[in-house]
A and B are shown apart, each in its own frame.
Chain A
Amino acid sequence: MQGGSSGIGYGLKYQARCISDVKADRDHTSFLTGTLSLKEENEVHLLRLSSGGSELLCEGLFSHPNEIWDLASSPFDQRIFSTVFSTGDSYGAAIWQIPEPYGQSNSSTLECVASLDAHVGKINCVLWCPSGNSDKLISMDEQNLVFWSLDSSKKSAEVLSKESAGMRHSLSGGAWNPHDVNSVAATSESSIQFWDLRTMKKNNSIERAHVRNVDYNLKREHILVSADDESGIHLWDLRKTKFPVQELPGHTHWTWAVRCNPEYEELILSVGTDSAVNLWFASASSEHKTSESPVEASRQRVNPLLNSYTDYEDSVYGLAWSSREPWIFASLSYDGRVVIESVKPFLPRR
């Protein structure tokens, strides 16, 4: 496939699982990625796509005390990001600040803004409030949902509220609704749960086992995409949670993560443990489906898969669209290889 030709690669030293788009960087297309090595010294790489888009440069290399399981760049300050890390037998989450001026020294230490130390179990992820200017955070472990307020100047984080999802629902991840800042979706073993942050109560759920990853569609309200281990990708209309709006076949093995394009509402990326990145065209929303002619609809049903990038050596876990150049995405395979691809040839005609 053409993945090999158009992709720009960058190699991390160790294995890695997570990559994040630096949303707050308005001048460059940048990504943050962190390594996952149990025994070595882990690193956080700040990568920047050169202005021509032909090279991926390392803008900063920072050492991180532990192996990184999750990493998220803050939407309001490009120097601030969060990580979830593990020491082997315990987990932690923290907010970090990249020292200024970064990029001068090759390896500088990160400044710890705050430690989100309200958890005991395995922490899954840290979510930044998607509104972009608020400094609210959510951290999730297997049982609890913690709502934080961050004060970066005072270097402190305060627990606003904390709620247990119950022992039976072991949470595994989630997404913050970009259309409604009070709503957060959390994936658990048997369902996708929707939490209202004002009351810290569960107010809705989609019964679906083994959901690994969810993402909201930025452009289309009420549309949520979920990835399952076995049965691929599902599009849900949050108003009708009984049946999915559309199903996509997903990957040959597990579908690890899905991401909706921030600009083109039909484009969905998924990465899987079959060492592939798939680009889908999902036009489905209940309104659209009826307006389309049946012929067209059936054509799309025949092949919603626009492209499959298969030039990976290992399972791909990390995936991020660039919010600045929405036709660019970064993927990260377990062997530490970051690949930047452009989906320009597949953009829908407008």
Chain B
Amino acid sequence: MATEAAPMDEKAKRMRDLLSSFYAPDPSISTSGSSINASFDNINSTSFDADQYMDLMIKKSNLEVLLQRHVQMAAEIKNLDTDLQMLVYENYNKFISATDTIKRMKSNIFGMEGNMDQLLQKIMSVQSKSDGVNTSLFEKREHIEKLHRTRNLLRKVQFIYDLPARLQKCIKSEAYGDAVRFYTGAMPILKVYGDTSFQDCRRASEEAIEIIIKNLQTKLFSDSESIQARAEAAVLLKQLDVPVDSLKAKLLEKLEQSLDGLQIKPEEASTLVEDDDSSNDTESNDQHPAKIHEDAVRGFSEAIRAYREIFPDSEERLFKLARALTAMHFEYMELYIKKRVSAADFLGIFRIVWEDVVLMDEVLPEAALSDLSAEAAQVTLKQFVARMFSHLQQDISDTLLKFDINQKEAVEGELLKVVLEASQKAVLQGTTNIFQDFRQLLDEKTGIFIKMKDLISGWIQKGSQDFFRSLEAQFLVLSGKTSSSNDIEGKSSDKIHAGLILVLAQLSVFIEQKVIPRVTEEIAASFSGGNSQAFENGPAFIPGELCRVFHAASEKLLQHYIDTRTQKVSVLLRKRFKTPNWVKHKEPREVHMYVDMFLHELEEVGKEVKQVLPQGTFRKHKRTDSNGSNTTTSSRSNTLHNDKMARSNSQRARSQLFETHLAKLFKQKVEIFTKVEFTQESVVTTTVKLCLKSLQEYVRLQTFNRSGFQQIQLDIQFLKAPLKEAVEDEAAIDFLLDEVIVAASERCLDVIPLEPPILDKLIQAKLAKSKEHNNNTVSS
């Protein structure tokens, strides 16, 4: 055997092959099957050529192998024979058993036919009987069915007839749910026959339902009912096909109405806050407005909550409503702060509003109320800050103007001083207060304030910067220096009291030196945060700039004061020099009255200045100093003068100009127009200097005859003493007075000065007269 490894497989295979060869129609297969054991694979194929195989075998193999092969083949053939024999035997066996089985079957089937026929007969009879029963019962069944239907119908009719009563009963017992169920059940019938058979019934039930609807609606609207009940009512109403939208609208309307009640009206706001404050000590008084308000808001929020549960699909409207409430709150708050409100009051209101917002936010978190109100709060706060400043500004200008009005009544005295002090106080106190208030704002712990701390600081800084800037602008407007564009201010500009300008000037200095540093400190201490984030363009509050602004303003105002004062004198002088014909002037008899007016003006300036401005510190020193030098200058000019006068007319004329030039050369050029300082003396001096300069210029424009010149000479001589008394810089005054005389002499056709004795006499006369006049006024 060539393959001993798998004898079992070998055997099975062989068996199968044998079987197939046995049944196969082609005998060649059997031959192939019989030769399966041949090691040569082609031995099983149909195209196996034995001769060829033999040839191949003989050629390839030697004798031994051939012999071996022969033995092997013989064995195989023998095996095959045995197998065949076995197969035949087995088949025969099977045939025998099959024949037995068939024999048995044949005996069993015998007798079946008769049974079958019997069965058929029986079934036939059963069927006929059942048919008979059926026909006999049919009529009765029909009848019963009919009766049954009628009964059902009747029951329905009964139900419908009972419906009103039943509904009434339900109403009585408030079982609206059942009622609605009944009604909706009866609805189809009523719809079909309602107009004919059940008219009354339908009407009655509809009435009942109407009542039910009404009741339901009241229930829905009544705040006393529980939310659950109301929601049920709403559902029922919906089932009853009552238009829910209108209900919704109505409910919303109601909510909106209640909104009105929630508004914090500006006029109420104060009481709200006041009571809020006072509630601490009067705790027994349980119903203060703030409490009421809070309850109202709470109720409102409850209502909203209910509504939301009832109509879950219409949240948008609610959002709108809630937003409206918030917006309204802030709107009213804005109105409220239009009046002046202290920070505490403001905070009180703000707190209430904020509480409201929080309440609402709880109910409607989706409405983004907190964002909305945060925005609104920002705006309001910003406005509040701005308004605080504008109020302060208003206060300050009120203080200034109030006294100005009083000025007309209370004529003299320390009025300007009072105004100045009051306004200084107003500014200082005002700024202190305002910052105190702001600090309250910062200390406030309400949520939004903490968030906005930086912003608030920024606003305050910016606000104070703007405040000072606009204050400065207002000062200038008040002073009439800048004609404001609106005519209302413009027309009153000429009525502005000069003293006010002076006060404003000094106030500006005060602000520059005291207020701004203080405010800077305040800001640095409390409000330093936030500027970096909120304002990219550096800090909003720039004290340096403000100081500069006010410094410039103070100088401007002071200059303006002097200007207005000298303008008055200038008008005076202009009239004096324009009116007479100087070429035909008559001999001087007395000092002209314009001198009095001039001096009076100066006196007024002196008075005002004394009230408002500080004294120059070096006055004493300067005076003694200038006294010394003054005597020499004046004496020199006097000698010069006398010299000049002593010459004969013809000589004088030629040399006059030369002389004046020479005199100027020798005299140091007197600085007439020096910078004005914030001292009494400086202002008075500057005023006098400017007036004298004007006098000189007016003189230069005229031509005088001898008498005209003498009049000027007399007037100037008279002016000398009082002016020197009033003025710090005596050298300059001397110089200017001389200049006037020189100008007059230059413009004089015939210069012959008055003799000193006559001059003296006239001046004495004038002095005596004015003294007498003074006495008169005093005594009278």
Chain A residues within 8 Å of B, Cβ to Cβ: 14-15, 37-40, 86, 88-89, 170, 210, 229-231, 243, 252-254, 273-274, 313, 315, 334-335
Contact = CB atoms under 8 A, between A and B. Distances in A.
A38 B563 contact: no
Contacts of B563: 230-231
B694 A253 contact: yes
B288 interface: no
Contacts of B716: none
B746 interface: yes
Contacts of B578: 170
B697 A273 contact: yes
A273 B739 CA distance: 13
Contacts, number: 53
Nearest to B566: A230
Contacts of B483: 243
Contact of A313 (B566, B574, B669, B749): B669
Contacts of A313: 664, 669
A88 B749 contact: yes
Contact of A39 (B566, B653, B690, B694): B653
A254 B583 contact: no
Measured as residues with beta carbon below 8 angstroms from the partner, the interface class of chain B is: 20 to 34
B661 interface: yes
Interface in B195-234: none
Contact of A335 (B661, B697, B748): B661
B700 A334 contact: yes
A315 B654 CA distance: 22
B747 interface: yes
A38 B746 contact: yes
A319 to B, nearest CB: 16
Contacts of B690: 252-253
B378 interface: no
B693 interface: yes
- Lowest 10 CB-CB distances: which A-B pairs, in order? A252-B673, A89-B583, A230-B567, A253-B693, A39-B653, A88-B703, A273-B697, A274-B673, A88-B749, A230-B563
Contacts of A243: 483, 485
A231 B749 CA distance: 34
B570 A229 contact: yes
Contact of A315 (B574, B584, B697): B697
Contacts of A14: 657
Given A88-B749, A252-B690, 19 more contacts: A37-B657, A38-B747, A40-B653, A40-B654, A170-B578, A210-B570, A229-B567, A229-B570, A229-B694, A230-B563, A230-B567, A231-B563, A253-B673, A253-B697, A273-B693, A274-B673, A274-B693, A334-B700, A335-B661
B672 interface: yes
A254 B661 contact: no
Contacts of B583: 88-89
A37 B749 CA distance: 10
Contacts of A40: 653-654
Contacts of A88: 583, 703, 749
A86 B703 CA distance: 9
Contacts of B654: 40
B673 A15 contact: no
Interface string B546-589: 00000000000000000100110010001000100001100000
Given A230-B570, A334-B700, A254 B694 contact: yes
A229 B690 CA distance: 11
Q: Which interface residue of A40, A231, A243, A273 has the most chain B CB atoms within 10 A?
A: A273
A163 B673 CA distance: 42
Interface string B740-770: 0000001111000000000000000000000
9 contacts: A38-B748, A38-B749, A89-B703, A210-B570, A230-B567, A243-B485, A252-B690, A253-B697, A274-B672
Interface string B635-676: 000000000000000000110010001001000010011000
B566 A38 contact: no
B746 A15 contact: yes
Nearest to A17: B700
A292 to B, nearest CB: 19
B660 to A, nearest CB: 9
Nearest to B578: A170
Nearest to A334: B700
A229 B749 CA distance: 27
A284 B363 CA distance: 62
Q: Which interface residue of A39, A86, A89, A170 has the most chain B CB atoms within 10 A?
A: A39
